[in-house]
């Protein structure tokens, strides 16, 4: 017996003969044996907790009978329909490279790690905590950063509509309600035109369980880490209603000095099964948080002297910690899904969603602030100077500000699915989005001053600013997205093939309230028409072996800031569509004890958006910048016996800039050529900021019934320091950036499941970086970030 969505074995699932007590339990491969049966007809009942019961009638007319694997569906209300919107890949069917992290693994390994870190045993993934602040982690996939990795939550895209980036602090508290994470490397299975150059990360939250119940959790860890959460579900009631609620609070001092944090999360799902044709599901979730950051990197000597926890972006005021760099954000997302079974062959899934973001990142403003002998901010000295300066009429010498990036996002995603024949299924749909990004800087702390002066608003010069007032800049970015997509999927015996296409129009408009007078503040919309074409096929050679091939070509609009130059309403008329072509072949092996996948990929990224600001009033379009990302990936899972599971992966990447650029014309704001042309010498240089060679080996062993231990050892190598290709404008400066020293990282975990009265209880224990290794994770153009040392958490969950 296997999970319908993931294809994984359901260990412990039961099969019984209807009307009798004769039965069996599925083993570690999902197999079962019924002995000593007479010839005849039997109806088998298949059951597993959290899944819908299945029946199957068999005719036994020989001494043995083998039947095809039985696929059980999750009993969560609406989950199957969400998976349609999310384009979840199916094992040995969807021709893409895919890795799955299920809820039980998330619970065992989550600890104080974040979403990207839970994927670090996935081929092609490089995930780090960067500066080490809560939610400040990043992920790259096959050498592409988050701007080029599509992230979907329940099928809804969450990449920033202007920059394409993903800010994981927005989702830092949602590991509690994630039922499944699926990483589709390369083109992926998504039908919508999302920016999945490197791949697609599908995050599926739990919907409403069909059974009544819930859980409570409490955990502690190093550096005053504490987490408490509660989840409750009514189950599916007789009137068709079902409700689930979840909430959590996480606090701590942070491993890195000056990164104290406080985060919350909430989740709700209200579902209504109207009849056998219609159902509705309303889901909302969010994770408001605030945390100190380490934005300033340092050289290795500084960390050797002051320790790997050193952070210079904070200080004390009146004996209390005050952050010069911090982050605060709340990005709730609400979606209303309607599922309509039109007839036996046609269904329609529609999601209407809203996301509102509020928050930003803190920093300093005015003159450089005084520092202590330890390199921390001397906020008391700054305050004293501001108080003394109040009488001069010039306002604050130095103060704290925040760069805000609020937004309003509305969208509709709808997919019509029709099974034309027993072998052919077609799908089509729309993807409509409206996004308004609201950008401004505001005063957050005057540090003893009565006001601060600012003359950046030409409509209100020389303003006296108080706390909460806008300063420096204030502009909006409007993004419109209209997309349509279609796909045909053909299945016959051992073959599954698909072809899909999508067309989308991206429109950008910029509105600037500070640099322009009323009537001249809005630009016209700049439109970029893009499309994607992709296809693939999977062929199951037999029950053990399968092969697949996929390929595609798509275009991608340049990012918002490449269209409007120098943060002004200056339109870059030469901004080009980016072009991506990708091909991948794969092989899979499945047996009772071993599952393995081998993939070879080649991706050519052409006309990558690169803009060089030569001065405040001149810029150059670096058109024709190309890169090749290619590599080999192997992953496996081996179960030598029922209580032991071994996993591993090796990923060998070769990510290289393809070509030099010559005679790049420099333009002023009026589009007039000025100065001498530029050259760019980057051909053959390796792409930086992600380990091109990674490997992992893991083990999970059940020592006693309900008591398991596990470990995961990761290796990272060939990680070239980050650099800006725009800086290599002279052949003499064409030197490969240095490599980050290779390193290993070992994580350990254990859990024990037992009964406390009638309640199932689980104890969790985690030690991350168990060997307390010192290593560098990120090497920027200004310095390095050290990885975190040994960290631990313990926790208990009670299910009811």
8 A C-beta contact, residue 238 and residue 108: no
How far is residue 312's CA from residue 630's CA, in Å, rounded to a whole number?
Answer: 39
Check residue 19 and give its pLDDT. Answer: 74
Q: What is the pLDDT of residues 402-455, one digit of tens each?
A: 999 999 999 999 999 999 999 999 999 999 999 999 999 999 999 999 999 999
Residue 203 reports pLDDT greater than 80:
yes
Mean pLDDT confidence for 662-686: 80
**Per-residue H/E/C for 43-64:** EEEEECCCECCEEEEEEECCCC
Q: What is the pLDDT of residues 491-525, one digit of tens each?
A: 999 999 999 999 999 999 999 999 999 999 999 99
8 A C-beta contact, residue 38 and residue 62: no
Residue 430 Ramachandran class (φ > 0 left, ψ -120 to 50 alpha, else beta): beta
8 A C-beta contact, residue 701 and residue 709: yes
* 104: exposed, middle or buried (Cβ count in 10 Å: 0-12, 13-18, 19+): exposed
Residue 788 reports pLDDT greater than 80:
yes
Q: What is the pLDDT of residues 450-469, one digit of tens each?
A: 999 999 999 999 899 999 99
8 A C-beta contact, residue 679 and residue 666: no
pLDDT band for position 1 (cuts 50, 70, 90): low
E strand map for 446-590: 452-454, 463-465, 470-492, 495-512, 526-540, 545-556, 564-565, 570-571, 578-590
Q: What percent of the chain has pLDDT over 70?
A: 92
- CATH number for the domain formed by residue range(s) 213-799: 2.40.170.20
Residue 520: partners with Cβ closer than 8 Å, 6 or more residues away: none
3 state SS of 176:
helix
Tokens for 371, please give them.
């520092």
8 A C-beta contact, residue 424 and residue 490: yes
8 A C-beta contact, residue 698 and residue 710: yes
Check residue 614 and give its pLDDT. Answer: 64
Mean pLDDT confidence for 696-700: 97
How far is residue 175's CA from residue 159's CA, in Å, rounded to a whole number?
Answer: 18
8 A C-beta contact, residue 490 and residue 497: yes
Q: Helices (H) and strands (E) in the chain — how many of each? A: 5, 51
String of DSSP letters for 686-717: BP-SSEEEEEEEEEEEEEETTEEEEEEEEEEE
Average pLDDT over the chain reads: 91
Residue 381 reports pLDDT greater than 70:
yes
End-to-end CA gap in the chain = 26
Q: What are the structural domain ranges in the chain?
A: 1-73, 213-799
Mean pLDDT confidence for 708-719: 97
Residue 40: partners with Cβ closer than 8 Å, 6 or more residues away: 59, 60
Q: What is the pLDDT of residues 320-350, one digit of tens each?
A: 999 999 999 999 999 999 999 999 999 999 9
DSSP 259: -
What's the whole-model pTM score?
Answer: 0.89
How far is residue 301's CA from residue 472's CA, in Å, rounded to a whole number?
Answer: 36
Residue 421: partners with Cβ closer than 8 Å, 6 or more residues away: none
Residue 688: partners with Cβ closer than 8 Å, 6 or more residues away: 719, 720, 721, 722, 723, 737
How far is residue 9's CA from residue 48's CA, in Å, rounded to a whole number?
Answer: 11
pLDDT band for position 132 (cuts 50, 70, 90): very high
Candidate from 64-68, 548-552, 628-632 with smallest mean pLDDT: 64-68
How far is residue 316's CA from residue 322's CA, in Å, rounded to a whole number?
Answer: 5
Check residue 45 and give its pLDDT. Answer: 83
- Bridge partners of residue 156, in order along the sequence: 153
Residue 684: partners with Cβ closer than 8 Å, 6 or more residues away: 656, 657
Residue 266 reports pLDDT greater than 60:
yes
Tokens for 302, please give them.
């500084």
Longest CA–CA separation in the chain, Å: 102
pLDDT band for position 69 (cuts 50, 70, 90): confident
String of DSSP letters for 296-349: --B-HHHHHHH-TT---SEEEETTEEEESSEEEEE--EEEEEEEEE-SSSEEEE
8 A C-beta contact, residue 285 and residue 174: yes
Phi, psi (degrees; rounded to nearest 5) at 191: -85, -30
Can you give the C-alpha Rg of the chain in angstroms? 28
pLDDT band for position 661 (cuts 50, 70, 90): confident
Check residue 572 and give its pLDDT. Answer: 86
Q: What is the pLDDT of residues 281-334, one digit of tens each?
A: 999 999 999 999 999 999 999 999 999 999 999 999 999 999 999 999 999 999
3 state SS of 294:
coil
Q: What is the pLDDT of residues 215-231, one digit of tens each?
A: 999 999 999 999 999 99
User: If you search the block for the tokens 């390193």, which residue do you land on?
Assistant: 743
**Neighbouring C-beta atoms of residue 727, cutoff 10 Å:** 12
Check residue 85 and give its pLDDT. Answer: 74
8 A C-beta contact, residue 592 and residue 33: no
* Residue 80 CA to its chain's centroid (Å): 21
Mean pLDDT confidence for 154-168: 91
The b-or-e profile of 753-776 (16+ CB within 10 A means b, else e) is eeeeeeebbbebbbbbbbeeeebb
Smallest CA-to-CA distance from 714 within 693, 734, 737, 690 is with 693
Check residue 137 and give its pLDDT. Answer: 94
Task: Give the Cα-Cα-Cα angle 3, 6, 10 (nearest 5 degrees).
Answer: 30
Residue 595: partners with Cβ closer than 8 Å, 6 or more residues away: 588, 589, 636, 637, 638
CATH of 1-73, one of 2.60.40.1120, 3.40.50.1820, 3.40.140.10, 3.30.830.10: 2.60.40.1120
Mean pLDDT confidence for 707-720: 97
Check residue 60 and give its pLDDT. Answer: 79
Residue 138 reports pLDDT greater than 60:
yes
The residue among 156 and 191 whose pLDDT is bigger is: 156
H or E segment and range at residue 398: strand 398-419
Check residue 50 and give its pLDDT. Answer: 57
How far is residue 700's CA from residue 764's CA, in Å, rounded to a whole number?
Answer: 14
Mean pLDDT confidence for 77-90: 74
Candidate from 135-144, 466-475, 615-624, 649-658 with smallest mean pLDDT: 615-624
Task: Give the Cα-Cα-Cα angle 674, 678, 681 (nearest 5 degrees).
Answer: 170
Q: What percent of the chain has pLDDT over 90?
A: 70
How far is residue 621's CA from residue 412's CA, in Å, rounded to a whole number?
Answer: 34
Smallest CA-to-CA distance from 442 within 549, 365, 553 is with 365
* Residue 27 CA to its chain's centroid (Å): 33
329, 330, 331, 335 alpha-carbon torsion, rounded to 10°? 170
Smallest CA-to-CA distance from 32 within 60, 5, 65 is with 65
The residue among 172 and 272 whose pLDDT is bigger is: 272
Check residue 616 and give its pLDDT. Answer: 61
């Amino acid at each position: 017996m296997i999970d319908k969505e993931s294809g994984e074995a359901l260990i412990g699932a039961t099969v019984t003969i209807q009307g009798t007590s004769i039965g069996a339990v599925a083993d570690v491969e999902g197999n079962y044996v019924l002995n000593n049966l007479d010839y005849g007809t039997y109806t088998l009942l298949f059951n597993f907790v959290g899944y819908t019961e299945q029946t199957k009638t068999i005719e036994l007319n020989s001494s043995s009978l083998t039947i095809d694997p039985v696929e059980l569906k999750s009993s969560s209300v609406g989950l199957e329909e969400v998976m349609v919107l999310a384009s979840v890949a199916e094992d040995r069917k969807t021709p893409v490279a895919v890795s799955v992290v299920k809820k039980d693994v998330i619970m065992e390994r989550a600890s104080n790690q974040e979403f990207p870190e839970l994927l670090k045993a996935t081929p092609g993934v490089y995930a780090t905590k960067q500066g080490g602040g809560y939610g400040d982690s990043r992920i790259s996939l096959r050498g592409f950063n988050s701007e080029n990795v599509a992230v979907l939550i329940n099928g809804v895209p969450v990449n920033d509509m202007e920059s394409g980036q993903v800010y994981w602090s927005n989702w830092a508290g949602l590991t509690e309600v994630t039922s499944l994470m699926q990483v589709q490397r390369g083109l992926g299975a998504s039908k919508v035109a999302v920016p999945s150059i490197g791949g697609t990360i599908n995050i599926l939250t739990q919907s409403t369980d069909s059974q009544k119940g819930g859980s409570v959790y409490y955990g502690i860890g190093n550096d005053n880490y504490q987490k408490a959460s509660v989840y409750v579900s009514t189950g599916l009631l007789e009137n068709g209603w079902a409700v689930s609620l979840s909430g959590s609070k996480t606090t701590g001092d942070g491993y890195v000095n000056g990164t104290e944090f406080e985060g919350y999360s909430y989740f709700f799902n209200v579902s209504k099964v109207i009849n056998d044709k219609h159902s509705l599901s309303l889901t909302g979730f969010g994770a408001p948080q605030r945390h100190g950051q380490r934005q300033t990197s340092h050289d290795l000597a500084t960390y050797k002297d002051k320790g790997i926890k050193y952070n210079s972006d904070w200080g004390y005021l009146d004996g209390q910690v005050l952050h010069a760099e911090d982050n605060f954000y709340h990005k709730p997302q609400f979606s209303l899904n309607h599922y309509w079974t039109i007839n036996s062959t046609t269904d329609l899934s529609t999601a209407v969603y809203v996301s509102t973001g509020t928050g930003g990142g803190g920093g300093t403003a005015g003159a450089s602030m005084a520092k202590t002998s330890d390199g921390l901010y001397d906020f008391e000295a700054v305050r004293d100077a501001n108080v003394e300066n109040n009488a001069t009429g010039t306002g604050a010498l130095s103060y704290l500000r925040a760069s805000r990036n609020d937004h309003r996002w509305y969208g509709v995603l709808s997919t019509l699915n029709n099974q034309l024949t027993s072998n052919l299924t077609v799908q089509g749909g729309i993807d409509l989005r409206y996004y308004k990004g609201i950008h401004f800087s505001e005063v957050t702390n005057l540090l003893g001053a009565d006001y601060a002066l600012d003359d950046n608003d030409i409509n209100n010069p020389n303003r006296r600013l108080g706390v909460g007032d806008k300063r420096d800049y204030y502009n909006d970015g409007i993004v419109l997205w209209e997309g349509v997509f279609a796909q045909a999927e053909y299945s016959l015996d051992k073959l599954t093939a698909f072809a899909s296409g999508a067309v989308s129009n991206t429109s950008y408009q910029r509105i600037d309230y500070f640099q322009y007078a009323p009537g001249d503040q809005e630009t016209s919309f700049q439109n970029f028409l893009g499309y994607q074409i992709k296809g693939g096929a999977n062929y199951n050679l037999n029950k053990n072996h399968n092969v697949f091939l996929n390929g595609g070509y798509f275009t991608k609009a340049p990012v918002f800031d490449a269209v409007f130059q120098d943060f002004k309403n200056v339109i870059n008329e030469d901004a080009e569509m980016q072009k991506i072509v990708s091909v991948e072949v794969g092989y899979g092996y499945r047996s009772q004890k071993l599952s393995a996948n081998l993939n070879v990929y080649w991706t050519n990224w052409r006309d990558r958006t690169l803009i060089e600001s030569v001065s405040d009033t001149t810029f150059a379009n670096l058109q024709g910048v190309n890169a090749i990302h290619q590599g080999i990936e192997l992953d496996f899972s081996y179960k030598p016996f029922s209580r032991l599971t071994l996993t591993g992966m090796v990923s060998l990447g070769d990510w290289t800039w393809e070509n030099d650029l010559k005679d790049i014309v420099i333009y002023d704001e009026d589009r007039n050529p000025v100065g001498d042309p530029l050259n760019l010498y980057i051909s053959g240089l390796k792409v930086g900021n992600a380990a091109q060679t990674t490997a992992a080996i893991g083990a999970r062993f059940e020592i006693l019934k309900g008591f398991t231990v596990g470990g995961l050892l990761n290796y990272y190598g060939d990680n070239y320091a980050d650099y800006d290709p725009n800086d290599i404008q002279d052949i003499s400066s064409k030197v490969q950036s240095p490599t980050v020293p290779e390193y290993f990282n070992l994580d350990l975990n254990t859990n024990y499941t037992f009964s406390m009265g009638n309640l199932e209880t689980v104890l969790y224990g985690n030690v991350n970086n168990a060997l307390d290794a010192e290593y560098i994770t990120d090497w920027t153009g200004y310095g390095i970030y050290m990885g975190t040392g040994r960290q631990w958490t313990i926790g208990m969950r009670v299910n009811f």
